[in-house]
Amino acid sequence: MKRFKIRFLPIDIVYTAEEGENLLDFAMSAGININASCGGFGTCGRCRLKLIEGNIEYRGQRESSGSETDKKEDIILACQSYIKGDAIIEIPIESQIDKEALREKIKTKVLSARYDILSLNTIKPNPIVFKKLINIKLATCEGMDDLSSVIGAIKKEIHKKDIKVRLHALQTLPSTIRDANGVITVTLFDTGHYWELIKIESGDTTKRQYAIALDLGTTTICGRLIDITEKEKDGPRILEELSDYNAQISYGDDVITRIMHTKKKGGLKRLHDAVVKTTNSIMEELIGASGIKKEDIMFIVAAGNTTMTHLFLGVEPTYIMIEPYTPCFLSPPVVRAYDIGINLSCETPIFSFPCVSSYVGGDIVSGIVGSGLNKKDGVNLFIDIGTNGEIVLTGPDWMLCASCSAGPAFEGGGIKCGMRAAKGAIEQIRIDPVTFEPTVLTIGHIKPAGICGSGLIDGIAEMFLSGIILQNGKINRDLGSKRIRQTEGVYEYVICYGKDTLTGKDIVITESDLDNLMRAKAAMFAGCKVLVDVSGIGLDDIDKIIIAGGFGHFIDPFKAQIIGLFPELPVEKFSFIGNASLHGATLCALSKTYAQEAQRVAQMMTNIELSNNKAFMDEFIAAMFLPHTNERLFPNVIKKIKNSIGDKSV
Ligand code: FES
């Protein structure tokens, strides 16, 4: 990837950009705030910049910003411009939103690092279900049977004594081996105690070995089609990947609502059918897009939270939500495709990750394996932010974990203008501390439709930094901004007026939204603090914080510290791993070494139950403040806030 120097005037700061970066995205991530109220759609015309010199590609519908004067003066819209080389750009006064920030000479662009995950091409495949090529001789005398010929040939070539046979493998065995011309391919499942013969095919099919890895999320299900053959040269391991909303979302946003639905007549079947339907449809698409044959999918590895794993297998999850929170199982059995209605060859094994407790499930175990933290030195904190927040603190030979019920706020749930991280969701917000005018950037650069979780964190941090929100989470009534108003008795701040939005309605952040987010962030922080205290270390002893989860990489760690969601640690210690659970499932599909490691990790984790935990409740209450009631935990944030808003802070 080529990198170029972009010099911004009049502040005269030079940043390094990657080729092809959108100029508005780049400027905002560098801390340079430019007016933008249509989310980067190109319609408001407020992100005007002057190209002094350099190579910027303009991809807008209109040339420059439209007017003849703009064309003559090389005025471009930042949201429609892409970096192709070094450039010098002037920010006209009318496009500057945060003059304070512009005056701050930030020397380096702080980028959230992407956590290095293990490259799949370094792994030698050793899957739990595999194919072997076998030479076979048909029975030549009376008293012998076809199955004995096959088993005898396998034992002779692979030297394995204990082999059991699935009925399905027998059903077409006689004609299969007679069509085979002496060569058959057998599919075997290594159960750890014996080998199971699942399938027999004529000829050599060993080049066609595939598996599916699944992340069964409460909101989204992600699937990957993986080539598990041994390759002479580096080739793509992941053939296709895609995700879709879990069809269960029409039965509730969170696991508790889903469990409650299973109590209704036919509820368990409805939820089981819904997750299986989504899985089948994802698999159909993966297979269709790759052009492989369905019968060459040899097994599935699925990672889900404890409730999702129960529902996927069609098992009653009722007691997960009733004290003492007892799941039906922690180590799920291996099932077959026909057991649960998966549209693959009926004997196809389906492996689910082991869970740790009712609220720390196989997705977290998979995430730890996927991140490699089980093998890492030092003290590391793994945070998965989703519908629920799960935290794992890992030390040299110990792991503590906990689940915090953060509520759906981080996924846009329970927020007046909240939405999931989809096109049109506001993901970045900047607010001028003098005029209180906001700049917004949306996913897909289209007109704003709502605010997603990362946008909410960004927006609330900006509202706090500009003095719109007080430390108690209430909106400051004394600022005299027309964007602060009362609707039906609730105070709110208008992020976008209806004329600039996709829906035509105003997009606001209300005091009720603030309350929901305060609870969510307080639960996450309190959970981290309790684990750190239980382990006997201090927050400063944490070497690395890995943020997992679908929207994790959109969170600005500094903004998350401003609101007290993450502990105050140098931003260099934070990295984002994306869907660690899916990566863990992929590793386990490729090699049984990782599957065995997942079992070890699940056994190694000590679950700290936070419900009814006094220390957690105390920490939760202490964290219901911005950033926290204990300012000594956030010294730099407090300094920044004092510099930013001075006496507006109380
Ligand atoms: Fe660029 Fe609106 S025209 S943000």
Per-residue pLDDT tens for 208-238? 999 999 999 988 899 999 999 987 666 678 9
What does DSSP assign to residue 166?
A: -
Distance 448 CA to ligand 1 centre (A): 11
Dump pLDDT digits (tens) for 253-305. 789 989 999 998 999 999 999 999 999 999 999 999 999 999 999 999 999 99
Distance CA 585, CA 116 (A): 17
Distance 24 CA to ligand 1 centre (A): 9
The residue among 61, 27, 28 whose CA lies nearest residue 42 is: 61
The residue among 132, 253, 264, 268 whose CA lies nearest residue 200 is: 132
Distance 480 CA to ligand 1 centre (A): 26
Lowest mean pLDDT among 384-388, 397-401, 460-464, 624-628: 384-388
**CB 47, CB 60: distance < 8 Å:** no
Q: Which of 23, 35, 44 is the pocket-test mutation for ligand 1 (most atoms within 8 Å of CB)? A: 44
**CB 41, CB 444: distance < 8 Å:** no
Distance CA 156, CA 171 (A): 23
Please work out whether the CB of residue 379 comes within 6 Å of at least one atom of ligand 1.
no
Distance 430 CA to ligand 1 centre (A): 14
**pLDDT over 50 at 384, yes or no:** yes
Ligand 1, residue 44: give the atom nearest the CA.
Answer: 2
Q: Tell me what pLDDT residue 117 has.
A: 66
Please work out whether the CB of residue 470 comes within 6 Å of at least one atom of ligand 1.
no
Instruction: Output the residue whose Cα is nearest ligand 1's atom 3.
Output: 42
Residue with tokens 């006496």: 647
Sheet holding 484-487, edge to edge: 484-487, 490-496, 507-510
The residue among 215, 140, 214, 134 whose CA lies nearest residue 176 is: 134
Q: Tell me what pLDDT residue 235 has.
A: 65
Distance 80 CA to ligand 1 centre (A): 8
Q: Tell me what pLDDT residue 110 has.
A: 33
Distance CA 476, CA 609 (A): 37
Q: Which of 35, 46, 56 is the pocket-test mutation for ligand 1 (most atoms within 8 Å of CB)? A: 46
Q: Which of 43, 70, 426 is the pocket-test mutation for ligand 1 (most atoms within 8 Å of CB)? A: 43
SS3 for 466?
coil
Distance 40 CA to ligand 1 centre (A): 4
Ligand 1, residue 39: give the atom nearest the CA.
Answer: 4
Q: Tell me what pLDDT residue 263 has.
A: 92
Q: Which of 28, 33, 47 is the pocket-test mutation for ligand 1 (most atoms within 8 Å of CB)? A: 47
The residue among 360, 372, 249 whose CA lies nearest residue 607 is: 360
Distance CA 592, CA 604 (A): 18
SS3 for 3?
strand
DSSP output for 359-399: SS-HHHHHHHHHHTGGG--S-EEEEEESSSEEEEEE-SS-E
Task: Tell me whether residue 327 is exposed, middle or buried, using C-beta atoms within 10 angstroms of its C-beta: 0 to 12, 13 to 18, 19 or more.
Answer: buried
Ligand 1, residue 439: give the atom nearest the CA.
Answer: 4
Q: Tell me what pLDDT residue 97 has.
A: 56
**CB 619, CB 521: distance < 8 Å:** no
Q: Tell me what pLDDT residue 26 has.
A: 86
Please work out whether the CB of residue 75 comes within 6 Å of at least one atom of ligand 1.
no
The residues with which 96 forms a beta bridge, in sequence order, are: 34
**CB 410, CB 551: distance < 8 Å:** yes
**CB 40, CB 23: distance < 8 Å:** no
SS3 for 167?
helix
Distance 549 CA to ligand 1 centre (A): 29
Ligand 1, residue 45: give the atom nearest the CA.
Answer: 3
Q: Tell me what pLDDT residue 254 has.
A: 83
Question: Any alpha helices (H) in 472-579, and if so which ranges?
Answer: 511-535, 557-562
Please work out whether the CB of residue 527 comes within 6 Å of at least one atom of ligand 1.
no
Distance CA 436, CA 178 (A): 80
User: pLDDT class for 107, splitting at 50, 70, 90?
Assistant: very low
Distance 39 CA to ligand 1 centre (A): 6
Longest Cα–Cα distance of the chain, Å, equals 99
Instruction: Kindly report whether the global pTM for this prediction surpasses the value 0.85.
Output: no
Kindly report the backbone phi and psi dihedral angles of residue 443, in degrees, each rounded to the nearest multiple of 5, phi listed first. Answer: -70, 130
| The pair of three-digit structure tokens given for residue 309, joined into one six-digit string | 């794993």
Per DSSP bridges, beta strands 220-227 and 210-216 are antiparallel
Distance 435 CA to ligand 1 centre (A): 19
Distance 532 CA to ligand 1 centre (A): 44
Dump pLDDT digits (tens) for 501-549. 988 899 999 999 999 999 999 999 999 999 999 999 999 999 999 999 7
Distance 41 CA to ligand 1 centre (A): 6
Q: Tell me what pLDDT residue 252 has.
A: 78
Cβ-based neighbours of 552, under 8 Å, separated by 6 or more: 383, 384, 385, 576, 577, 578
Cβ-based neighbours of 312, under 8 Å, separated by 6 or more: 216, 272, 275, 276, 279, 302, 304, 340, 352
Kindly report the backbone phi and psi dihedral angles of residue 56, in degrees, each rounded to the nearest multiple of 5, phi listed first. Answer: -125, 130
Assess whether the previous peptide bond of 396 is cis (omega < 30° from 0).
Answer: no
Please work out whether the CB of residue 77 comes within 6 Å of at least one atom of ligand 1.
yes
Please work out whether the CB of residue 23 comes within 6 Å of at least one atom of ligand 1.
no
Dump pLDDT digits (tens) for 571-622. 899 988 889 999 999 999 999 999 999 999 999 999 999 988 999 999 999 9
Distance 329 CA to ligand 1 centre (A): 53
Q: Tell me what pLDDT residue 63 has.
A: 46
SS3 for 572?
helix
Please work out whether the CB of residue 128 comes within 6 Å of at least one atom of ligand 1.
no
Distance CA 591, CA 580 (A): 17
| The pair of three-digit structure tokens given for residue 6, joined into one six-digit string | 């972009």
Arithmetic mean of pLDDT, 376-404: 92
Mean pLDDT score across all residues of the chain = 88
| The pair of three-digit structure tokens given for residue 117, joined into one six-digit string | 């995950």
Question: Any alpha helices (H) in 536-613, and if so which ranges?
Answer: 557-562, 580-590, 592-604
Residue with tokens 């109380």: 650
User: pLDDT class for 72, splitting at 50, 70, 90?
Assistant: low
The Cα angle at residue 421 between residues 416 and 423, in degrees rounded to 5? 100
The residue among 284, 323, 275, 268 whose CA lies nearest residue 302 is: 275
**CB 153, CB 134: distance < 8 Å:** yes
The alpha carbon of 511 is separated from its chain's Cα centroid by a whole number of angstroms, namely 28
Q: Which of 22, 49, 79, 428 is the pocket-test mutation for ligand 1 (most atoms within 8 Å of CB)? A: 79
Q: Tell me what pLDDT residue 292 has.
A: 95
Q: Which of 61, 65, 77 is the pocket-test mutation for ligand 1 (most atoms within 8 Å of CB)? A: 77
The residue among 405, 511, 513, 386 whose CA lies nearest residue 450 is: 513
Distance 429 CA to ligand 1 centre (A): 13
Please work out whether the CB of residue 79 comes within 6 Å of at least one atom of ligand 1.
yes
**CB 369, CB 598: distance < 8 Å:** yes
Distance CA 123, CA 426 (A): 39
Residue with tokens 């090699």: 591
Q: Report which secondary-structure segment, H or E, holds 271.
A: helix 267-290
